[in-house]
Amino acid sequence: MRHTLPLAPQFYVTAPQPCPYLEGRMERKLFTALQGDSAEKLNDALSKQGFRRSQNVLYRPSCAECSACLSARIDVSKFAPSRSQKRVLKRNAALKRNASSPWATEEQYALFRDYLDSRHASGGMADMDLFEFAAMVEETPIRSRLIEYSHPDDDPTGPRGGLRAVSLTDVLDDGLSMVYSFFAPEHAADSLGTYIILDHVEIARSMGLPYVYLGYWVPGSDKMGYKARFSGLEIYTLGDWVPLTDPEAYTSDPHPLAVAPIAEQVARITLPDVGPVRRDR
């Protein structure tokens, strides 16, 4: 007997664990696998609904009493660099950009290790070895790119191969999604993290893509607060993208009714039309 069934991903919830952004909170994620022929369509559709990619998984915060994490993206058409961002562009004008396929190298890992040891020594990624780093970069079922930045003053024969910054970036149907970026910690004064975002805005504009997805903005978190400094920023809240007007108007205070039940969250997710799949019996 032959049946035609809709192709629908299964959603799961992680066990609570300490929140990396707000001290004393516990985080929980709603997630689904990213695989098969429909992976790109699913990634495109769920990215527009606040999900992020990590290797072959799509996830979105679903904490029991907290909704502080808000997916953020820059509307390229409404972005204009501030005075300080113009200075960042000028300061890093000598950087050379190179985009390549998502293939990990020892030079990238050396830069990644220096970055973690300097800025996130106690974070969840602090113990990542070369093989785990390679998995983070290479295990992608969608169109991803490694965007490398080098400087003529840096030694190309050194352990970092002259790399000053790197971004793992996904190419969506409506923008660029910055999955993870890292840079030389000794050049922190050059605001390389800000520069990478500014350059992605320029790349998106040159490709005719309307958005640059930045991950999550978290009011009350010093780690994530910098995203509010970009003009044209939108956040995903209550099922829609809205302009971020006054960052001070948002709170990270927990509330027992802040998050809908998991079943209701899943029911509200809009899935892409990938056509039926046939199953023979």
Using one digit for the tens of pLDDT, what is the confidence trace for 141-193? 999 999 999 999 999 999 999 999 999 999 999 999 999 999 999 999 999 99
What letter would DSSP give residue 80?
Answer: -
Q: CA 180 to CA 268: how far, in whole Å?
A: 28
At residue 92, does pLDDT exceed 90? yes
The answer to whether the beta carbons of residues 58 and 42 sit under 8 Å apart is yes
What is the model's pLDDT at position 252?
A: 83
What letter would DSSP give residue 272?
Answer: P
- Across 93-102, 122-131, 161-170, 211-220, least confident range: 122-131
What HEC string does 137-170 produce?
HHCCCCCEEEEEEECCCCCCCCCCCCEEEEEEEE
What is the model's pLDDT at position 140?
A: 94
Identify the residue with better confidence: 144 or 6. Answer: 144
Q: Give the whole-number percent of the chain exceeding pLDDT 90.
A: 71
Residue 218, SS3?
coil
Contacts of 210 (CB under 8 A, 6+ apart): 75, 76, 77, 174, 175, 204
pLDDT in tens, 119-139: 765 566 768 899 999 999 999
Q: CA 249 to CA 219: how far, in whole Å?
A: 9
**Structure tokens that stand for 16 in this block:** 């609570």
Tell me the domain boundaries of the chain: 2-67+252-280, 72-245
pLDDT in tens, 38-83: 999 999 999 999 999 999 999 999 998 888 899 999 999 999 999 9
Task: Give the DSSP H or E segment for 117.
Answer: helix 106-119
Q: CA 71 to CA 218: how far, in whole Å?
A: 9
Q: CA 131 to CA 121: how far, in whole Å?
A: 18
Residue 46, SS3?
helix
What is the model's pLDDT at position 54?
A: 94
Q: CA 151 to CA 161: how far, in whole Å?
A: 10
Contacts of 139 (CB under 8 A, 6+ apart): 55, 56
Q: What's the pTM value of the predicted model, to 2 decimals?
A: 0.91
The answer to whether the beta carbons of residues 31 and 46 sit under 8 Å apart is no
- Mean pLDDT score, 90-116: 95
CATH code of the domain occupying 72-245: 3.40.630.30
Confidence of residue 260 (pLDDT cuts 50, 70, 90): confident
Angle at CA of residue 69, ends 148 and 73, nearest 5°: 45
The answer to whether the beta carbons of residues 189 and 195 sit under 8 Å apart is no
Confidence of residue 259 (pLDDT cuts 50, 70, 90): confident
